[in-house]
């Protein structure tokens, strides 16, 4: 006959990161055993099994733990007291040196409140770095987007932070010349005008193979607007869909699309056909009054009538939002400045300031070419 309780395996001390789950376990033999776990000698309510589970641990859980095992017959025994050390998560912060033009450099910066932390960056265009403050040199529009830094403490506890990089594009400058571009008589004034392609567009994808059901409130697909240069003005926006198919008895005329977040578009019908099947041609929806140049935006798929019983009522091959924008006219300087003027009469010399149009007064010693530069 066995009496009393015997501890076969003692609980083991733990050191874990804040926010993780921790467990202490004791292995025992004996008749009809009961358990009571204690924290710093005080009984823990409900902790009456051979395993103590602690979820999402915090600094308040940093303590000493033991368990009292009581048999049906014989004396109770108490396990070794073991500690739970809760290591704090580092407070991560990320920033960058600000908006620049293509060809310039941007410095990413990260900080941690725990000395000895390491840093690991990731971002657009396959970017990665283990420097705390890496530099993006000779940037292009491919570098636009969100950069994430993961900060890891010496105790191997990690936190992340993000920073968004914006870059102003250098639109290629083109020169138009009054009269002949290649010949001129001495004393003739040639008007030189620099212009740039100051329009562009970005495509925001909500994913592929989307499904719509009759659920109340619709089905939401999130995305983020990025890549529109600072200072740009949105000129138009349009939702574009491919391979939209109404199935399981639903009608194409029941499908509705909407936007929430950075811009709100009410539920909009995309077909008037009172039957199921593929919508052809692929539907588009103009989004009036769109002004957002960044931020989170959500596509919401709804239906005007819930047919009931069908899990999926419509499918979408792709769904994107195309945003068109325009940039202000660029600031332009010219080199060399020899024989250049700012007025049609050729009386006010050009000295290097911003000027979209300048006038070249041709002489035997004039330069044979002039070059515009975008500031």
* Position 375 pLDDT exceeds 70: no
- Which pair of tokens denotes residue 62? 């940093």
For 212-226, the pLDDT digits (tens) are: 987 878 899 999 998
Q: Which residue has the higher pLDDT, 75 or 260?
A: 260
Do residues 97 and 134 make contact, with C-beta atoms less than 8 angstroms apart?
no
* Residue range 143-199, pLDDT digits in tens: 887 899 999 999 999 999 988 887 776 665 555 655 555 567 778 888 888 877 677
Stretch among 7-11, 92-96, 162-166, 259-263 having the lowest mean pLDDT: 162-166
Ranges 49-58, 82-91, 127-136, 202-211: which has the least confidence: 202-211
- Regarding beta strands 14-17 and 82-87, do their DSSP bridges make them parallel or antiparallel, or are they unpaired? parallel
3-class DSSP state of 142: helix
pLDDT at 182: 58
pLDDT of residue 244: 94
Please state, in angstroms and rounded to a whole number, the distance separating the CA atoms of residues 112 and 118. Answer: 9
What secondary structure letter does DSSP report for 40? T
Residue % of the chain over a pLDDT of 70: 93
Residues 6+ apart with CB under 8 A from 126: none
Residue 318, pLDDT above cutoff 50: yes
Q: With beta carbons less than 8 A apart as the criterion, state whether 76 and 70 touch.
A: yes
d(CA 357, CA 341): 9
Domains and CATH numbers, the chain: 6-87 (2.60.40.10), 92-168 (2.60.40.10), 173-197+330-374 (no CATH), 199-326 (2.60.120.1200)
pLDDT above 70: residue 76: yes
Q: What is the three-state SS of 151-213?
A: EECCCCCEEEEEEEECEECCCCEEEEECCCCCCCCCCCEEEEEEEECCEEEEEEEEEEEEEEC
Q: What is the pLDDT of residue 250?
A: 85
pLDDT at 1 (0 to 100): 42
Q: How far apart are CA 30 and CA 27, in angstroms?
A: 10
Whether the CB-CB separation of 367 and 339 falls below 8 Å is answered with yes
Residues paired with 320 in a beta bridge:
205, 240
């Amino acid at each position: 006959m066995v009496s009393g309780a015997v501890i076969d395996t003692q609980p083991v001390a733990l050191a874990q990161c804040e926010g993780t789950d921790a467990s202490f376990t004791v292995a025992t033999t004996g008749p009809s055993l009961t358990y009571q776990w204690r924290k710093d000698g005080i009984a823990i309510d409900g902790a009456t099994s051979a395993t103590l589970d602690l979820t999402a641990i915090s600094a308040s859980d940093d303590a000493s733990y033991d368990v009292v095992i009581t048999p049906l017959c014989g004396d109770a025994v108490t396990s070794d007291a073991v500690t739970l050390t809760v290591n704090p998560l580092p407070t991560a912060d990320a920033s960058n040196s600000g908006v620049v033009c293509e060809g310039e450099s941007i410095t990413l910066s990260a900080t941690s409140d725990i000395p000895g932390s390491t840093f690991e960056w990731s971002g657009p265009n396959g970017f990665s770095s283990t420097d705390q403050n890496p530099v993006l040199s000779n940037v292009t529009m491919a570098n636009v987007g969100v950069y994430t830094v993961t900060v890891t403490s010496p105790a191997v506890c990690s936190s992340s932070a993000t920073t968004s990089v914006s870059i102003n594009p250098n639109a290629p400058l083109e020169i138009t010349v009054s009269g002949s571009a290649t010949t001129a008589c001495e004393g003739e004034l040639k008007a030189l005008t620099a212009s740039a392609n100051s329009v562009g567009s970005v495509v925001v994808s909500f994913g592929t193979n989307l499904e719509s059901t009759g659920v109340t409130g619709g089905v939401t697909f999130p995305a983020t607007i990025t890549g529109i240069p600072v200072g740009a003005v949105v000129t138009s926006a349009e939702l574009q869909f491919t391979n939209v198919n109404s199935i399981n008895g639903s009608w194409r005329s029941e499908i509705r699309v909407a936007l929430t977040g950075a811009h709100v578009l009410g539920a909009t019908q995309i077909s008037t056909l009172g039957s199921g099947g593929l919508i052809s041609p692929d539907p588009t929806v103009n989004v009036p009054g769109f002004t957002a140049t960044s931020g989170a935006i959500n596509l919401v798929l709804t239906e005007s009538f819930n047919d009931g019983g069908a899990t999926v009522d419509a499918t979408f091959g792709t769904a994107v939002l195309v945003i068109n924008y325009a940039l202000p006219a660029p600031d332009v300087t010219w080199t060399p400045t020899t024989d250049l003027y700012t007025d049609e009469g050729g009386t006010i010399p050009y000295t290097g300031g911003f000027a979209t149009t300048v006038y070249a007064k041709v002489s035997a010693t004039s330069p044979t070419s002039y070059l515009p530069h975008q500031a």
